[in-house]
Chain A
C-alpha cells in the first residue's frame, strides 16, 4: 500500500535559522511529490511539486525540496525561516498507476521562535 511518513509532528526553529522538514514515502510506482502548507483553520496552498528532471525543485516563499530516489525521500528546506512561516506542512504523493488521487502525510507543525 502507498504511504507517506512525516516523522516530525512538531518542529520549533528560531527566526532566521534554517529549516528541514522530512518526508518519506512508500510507493510501488514512479511518484509525483508535493508539499503543501496550511495556516490554522484555512485550506492548503501548494509550495512546490516534483514530477521528473532536476531533483532539486524551487517553490514559493523561498522553499525548496530535494527528491532522493534511493532514500525514498522528498525533504523540504528553507535557508532562513521567517515568523510568517509558522504553519502546518504536508507532504503528498501520487502516481498515475494509483488513480487521480494523492496520499497525504500526517503533517508537521512548524513553530518559529523570535
Chain B
C-alpha cells in the first residue's frame, strides 16, 4: 500500500534533548512538508522540500532542522532551542506543486517533560 509513515505515534523526551521524528513516503512524491498542530491554531508549516537535497523554512522554523537526502525520507529534528516543543507533528507529501493534493501521515505526538 502506498502512503506516508510517521514513527513513532507517541514520543516522550526530557527537556534539553534533541529528538528526531521520522517521515517516510512510498508515493514517489517530490514535495514533502512538516507541520505543527496545536489546539485552536490549525496547522503551521515548519519546513518543506520540493526536491531532494533542497528545503525551505516555513513560518515557524526556529528550533527545528530537517534533511532531505532521499526522495522518500524527510526527518525532522526538534532541537533544544525550540522553546515549546510539545505538540502534534504532521508530515505530508505531494506530487510537486501547490495545486497537488497533500497527503498526510498519521502524525507523531511529542511530549517534552
Residues of A within 8 A of B (CB): 4, 6, 9, 32, 36, 41-46, 49, 51, 90, 92, 94-96, 99-107
Interface string of B17-49 (1 = CB under 8 A from A): 000000000000001010100001111110010
Residues from chain B with a CB closer than 8 A to the CB of A49 are: 99, 101
Q: Is the CB of A100 within 8 A of B90?
A: no
Check B98 against A44 for contact (C-beta < 8 Å): no
**Which of chain B's residues 48-103 have a Cβ closer than 8 Å to chain A?**
48, 50, 56, 58, 90, 92, 96-99, 101-103
Q: Which residues of A contact B16 (CB under 8 A)?
A: none
A residues in contact with B92, CB < 8 Å: 43-44
Interface pair B98/A104, CB less than 8 Å apart: no
User: What residues of chain B lie closer than 8 Å to A43, measured between beta carbons?
Assistant: 4, 90, 92, 104-107
Residue pair A46, B99 in contact (C-beta under 8 Å): no
State whether A100 and B31 are in contact (beta carbons under 8 Å apart), knowing that A42-B106, A49-B101 are contacts in the complex: yes
A99 touching B42 by the CB < 8 A rule?
no
Q: B residues touching A (Cβ–Cβ < 8 Å)?
A: 4, 31, 33, 35, 40-45, 48, 50, 56, 58, 90, 92, 96-99, 101-107, 109
CB-defined contacts of B109 to chain A, threshold 8 Å: 41
**From A9, A51, A99, A102, contact of B102 by CB (8 A):** A102
* Known contacts A51-B99, A100-B97; is-contact A42 B42 (Cβ 8 Å): no
5 residue pairs bridging A and B, Cβ less than 8 Å apart? A42-B106, A46-B101, A92-B43, A102-B45, A102-B98
CB distance from A30 to the nearest CB of B (A): 11
| Contact between chains at B45 and A32 (CB < 8 Å) | no
**Contacts A41-B107, A43-B92, A51-B99 known; 13 new A-B pairs at CB < 8 A:** A9-B40, A32-B99, A41-B109, A42-B107, A43-B90, A43-B104, A46-B101, A46-B103, A95-B98, A100-B31, A101-B48, A102-B102, A106-B41
Which residues does chain A contribute within 8 Å of B58, judged by CB atoms?
A: 101
Q: Out of B44, B45, B50, B104, name the residue touching A44 (CB < 8 Å).
A: B104
